[in-house]
Structures are given as C-alpha cells and as structure tokens.
Amino acid sequence: MAQTLSDTSSTVVQRSRSTRDRSKVLWIGTIGFTLMFAVWLQFGVLSVPIAEEFGLTNSQVAWLISVAALNGSLWRLITGIMADRWGGRSVMAALMVVSAIPTYFVIYADSYTQLLIFAFLIGLAGNSFTIGVSWVSAWYPKSQQGLALGIFGAGNVGASVTKLVAPLLLAVLPAGGFLGGLIPGGWRFIPVMYALLLLVMAAITWYGSPRPDITPGAGVPLAQQFRVLKKVRVWRFSLYYVVVFGAYVALSGWMPTFYVKNFGLNLGLAALLTALFIFPASLLRPVGGWLSDKHGARPIMYISLCTMVLATGAMMVPSNVWVFTVLLFVVGIAMGVGKAAVFKHIPEYFPKDVGAVGGLVGLIGGLGAVALPPLFAYAQEWTGLSMQSATFGVLFGIALISLVWMQVVVSHDHRDRAHPATADRDAG
C-alpha cells in the first residue's frame, strides 16, 4: 500500500514537473522568437533613415531588405536538423549570440557594401523559427502540439515591433546619443538595443530552460534525416507555407506602397491599414493551432485555402479602399489560421523529423517571401493589368494550385481507404 502511494505521488510530481518544463520551453521560445523576428526585419523601418544618411536609391534599399530576408530563410533546414540532434535550447541560445554580433557592428558601417554585408549576417536571426518548431514540438504531446506551435508562431508579430518602437525612439532620442556618443543616437540606437536584448535573451534561454533537453534526432544518421525530404508530401506542405507565410511576409512589406500608389493614401494611413492585416495574420496562429488539435490539421488547412482562393479572387477586381481592406483582413485571418495548420501537419506525419521537414517547409516559405514582391511587379508589367489585379492574381494562382493539390490528395486517400491493396503511401 505504501509503495503504491509512493509511486502515485512520484507520478504526480513527475507530471507536474513535465508540465512546468513544457511551459518554460514554450514561453522562453516564443519570447525569444518574437525578438529574433523583430531583429530579422528591422531594416523595413530603419532603411528610411539609413537611406537618408547614405543617399541610397529605392533599388538599393530594396536589396538591403531582401538580403536580410534571404539569409533568414537559407539556413532553416540546417538549423532545424541541428535542433533535432542537439536540442533547441543550445541551438537557439547560440544563434542569439551569433546574431547579436552583426546586429551591434552594423552601427559602424560607413558604406553601402558594408551595410549589405551586415544586413545579410543579421538575417541569420530569421532561421530561429525552425529551431523553435523543433524545440516546442519535442516537449509537447501530439494532442497539444497544434496550440503550442500556434502560440510559438505568433512570434511573427515581431514584424510589427520595430514598426511601432523605432519611429517613437527616433523621434525622442538625441541624434548625438548619450554619454558623449558611447551610446549612439538616431537609427544606430535600435541595433545596439537589439544586440543587448539578444544577449540577455540568450542567457535566459540557456539558464532558464529545462535540462536535459529533448533531442528526437540524436543518434539518427544524417542521411536518414535528409531522406525524408524525398517525400512528395513534404513539398506539398512547403507550397502551403508559401501561400500562408511567404505571402504574409511579402504583403506586409508590399501593402504600404500598394495603398499609397493604388488608392492615393498617405503613408501613415497606409501603414495603419496594413497593420489591420498583420495582426490577425500573426495573432490568430494560436487559434489555428487549437482548431487543428480539435478538428485535425487537414480540414483547417482546407478551409484556410478555400477562404484565400475566394478572397484573393474577389480582390483581383478593382474596388474601393474599404471593401479591399475588409477582404485583406479576411486573407489575414486565413493566413494566421493556416500557418498553424501547416505546422500541425508536420509532427503528425513526421514525428521524428520535425526539424528537417519543418526546416525545408520554412526555407521554401521564406524564399517565397523573397520571390513574391518582384513577381507581383513583373506580373503587372507582363500582363498590363492594374497593380491590384496583378498582385492578387498571383496570390489567387498559387492558392488555387495548393487547394487543387490538396483535393487530389484527399480524393486519393478516399480511394485508398476503399481499396487498401492499391494504396500508395508516398504519393503525397
């Protein structure tokens, strides 16, 4: 009897500790990712004062933003595998320290070439996403992974942090800085602030996260981790993520200019209306995760893609600014919910390869964010359509392709269940 009570007490304590440790991983990971996302996309705002100081052209500013976005996508596959093998705690803390170095030293750039180099290196921070996905999913049971990954992914709201904080600081900080220039003023204060916050967050991640970490990929041969990428299903998930994440990042940067040029609004109102799209596309990710846990990732993804096809199809038709903004808000909701559904799929289908699969999905989604803005512009140039019709025609096309592909897979699954002997498990 005493032994039974002891075992029961031990189980309760272990479960409590496990729950507490999972919560630590989730909240430390989410706060860290929000900071890293803000660092990654800081040039979206800082490019304005930087362009004034260095006399940059619009194309030079575009490249400054693009190289950071590019390097924030290139290494997502590698960092995801590293997190699977060595644990998210150590890889996330290390990336924060590494990212802090160019973030600080960009203040000493005195030429456009140096700015490009530092912006590219700062872009490393964007690869924190797949580290966090691997880390969080490793600590949570399957039934809770959708909500947990949704909460973590809401760190995308970091895209708005610099937009909200930087203009206020630039307005109130003295140009000469503080302590005789030891602490710089102007735009240079922002990178210094972020570098210090990265070091503080790295220490919190290293010392505050539970140990030992969970490493689902430890001991797994590297070739085996890469082998899973041959599956068609992985590439289908990647296309979904281009639709709900790549397009989200692209529109976040594209919409202010779109509102100004297409509707003749001032920049302040254009930025505000863009924020009405950004917030649901970021903050509804936990809702998407919860819905995916409750109803399954596939039906939620299906609804998200259907909504995007209908909304972007309607947005191809010129309308007034308020009708357009309502439709854009609907697109933001679909993206926020859909991003969580994509990453709920991954631990369900690839529980031992979340880092590798999540890394590739994140990589392709990030590259989509880099490729879509030029594609919007070229579509307008090649077709002669209006800016609105060309932009949302592109999005309508990739959303429709994704939806059709999903429908084909659903039809095949129904056929396979009816005729198990003909089932092809790797078909997609």
Examine the fold and report which residue of 213, 244, 266 is the final residue of a domain before the chain moves on.
213
Lowest average pLDDT, out of 103-117, 206-220, 306-320, goes to: 206-220
Confidence of residue 422 (pLDDT cuts 50, 70, 90): very low
Question: Considering the domain boundaries, does residue 422 fall inside one?
Answer: yes
Burial readout 14-28 (b: 16 or more C-beta within 10 A, e: otherwise): eeeeeeebbeebbeb
Selection from 283, 103, 129, 278 nearest residue 194 by Cα? 103
Question: Considering the domain boundaries, does residue 10 fall inside one?
Answer: no
**HEC sequence for 67-94:** HHHHHHHHCHHHHHHHHHHHCHHHHHHH
Q: What is the pLDDT of residue 13?
A: 34
- Which residue did the predictor score with more confidence, 373 or 292? 292
- 234 and 195 housed in the same domain: no
- 240 and 267 housed in the same domain: yes
pTM score, whole prediction: 0.75
The DSSP string of 357-372 is HHHHHHHHHHHHHHHH
Instruction: List pLDDT tens digits, range 127-136.
Output: 998 899 889 9
- Which residue did the predictor score with more confidence, 356 or 101? 101
State which of 149-158, 190-199, 210-219 shows the largest mean pLDDT.
Answer: 190-199
Contact 290, 276 (CB under 8 A): no
Q: How far apart are CA 124 and CA 165, in angstroms?
A: 22
Task: Give the SS3 label for residue 57.
Answer: coil
The whole domain housing 358 covers: 227-428
Q: What is the pLDDT of residue 286?
A: 87
- Average pLDDT of the residues in 283-293: 88
Q: Compute the residue count for the chain.
A: 428
Question: Considering the domain boundaries, does residue 240 fall inside one?
Answer: yes
Question: Considering the domain boundaries, does residue 12 fall inside one?
Answer: no
Examine the fold and report which residue of 213, 236, 255 is the final residue of a domain before the chain moves on.
213
Provide the domain count of the chain: 2
Question: Considering the domain boundaries, does residue 221 fall inside one?
Answer: no
| Torsional class of 55: left (φ above 0), alpha (ψ -120 to 50), beta (otherwise) | left
- 84 and 201 housed in the same domain: yes
Q: Write the DSSP symbol of residue 213.
A: P
Lowest average pLDDT, out of 3-17, 123-137, 409-423, goes to: 3-17
Average pLDDT of the chain is 84
- 35 and 157 housed in the same domain: yes
Q: What is the pLDDT of residue 283?
A: 85
- 137 and 265 housed in the same domain: no
Q: What is the pLDDT of residue 2?
A: 43
Confidence of residue 418 (pLDDT cuts 50, 70, 90): low
Backbone angles phi, psi at 208, to 5 degrees: -95, -15
Q: How far apart are CA 332 and CA 147, in angstroms?
A: 18
Q: What is the pLDDT of residue 91?
A: 96
Instruction: Give me the helices (H) in 264-320, please.
Output: 267-283, 285-295, 297-315
The DSSP string of 146-163 is HHHHHHHHGGGGHHHHHH
Selection from 363, 312, 359 nearest residue 334 by Cα? 312
- 157 and 253 housed in the same domain: no
- 117 and 240 housed in the same domain: no
- 231 and 155 housed in the same domain: no
Examine the fold and report which residue of 213, 243, 264 is the final residue of a domain before the chain moves on.
213
- 249 and 360 housed in the same domain: yes
Question: Considering the domain boundaries, does residue 106 fall inside one?
Answer: yes
- 197 and 234 housed in the same domain: no
Q: What is the pLDDT of residue 414?
A: 66
CA torsion sign for 355, 222, 370, 115 is: positive
Question: Considering the domain boundaries, does residue 11 fall inside one?
Answer: no
What CATH number should be reported for the domain holding residue 34? 1.20.1250.20
- pLDDT higher than 50, residue 69: yes
- pLDDT higher than 60, residue 329: yes
- pLDDT higher than 80, residue 102: yes
- 236 and 153 housed in the same domain: no
Token pair 């919910």 is found at: 337
- pLDDT higher than 80, residue 82: yes
- Which residue did the predictor score with more confidence, 423 or 411? 411
Confidence of residue 419 (pLDDT cuts 50, 70, 90): low
- 231 and 117 housed in the same domain: no
Confidence of residue 39 (pLDDT cuts 50, 70, 90): very high
Q: What is the pLDDT of residue 109?
A: 92
Confidence of residue 10 (pLDDT cuts 50, 70, 90): very low
Structure-block tokens of residue 5 = 């009570």
Question: Considering the domain boundaries, does residue 136 fall inside one?
Answer: yes
Q: Write the DSSP symbol of residue 178.
A: B
Instruction: List pLDDT tens digits, range 343-366.
Output: 888 888 887 777 788 888 888 888
- Which residue did the predictor score with more confidence, 170 or 372? 372
Q: What is the pLDDT of residue 302?
A: 93
Q: Write the DSSP symbol of residue 181.
A: G
Q: What is the pLDDT of residue 409?
A: 87
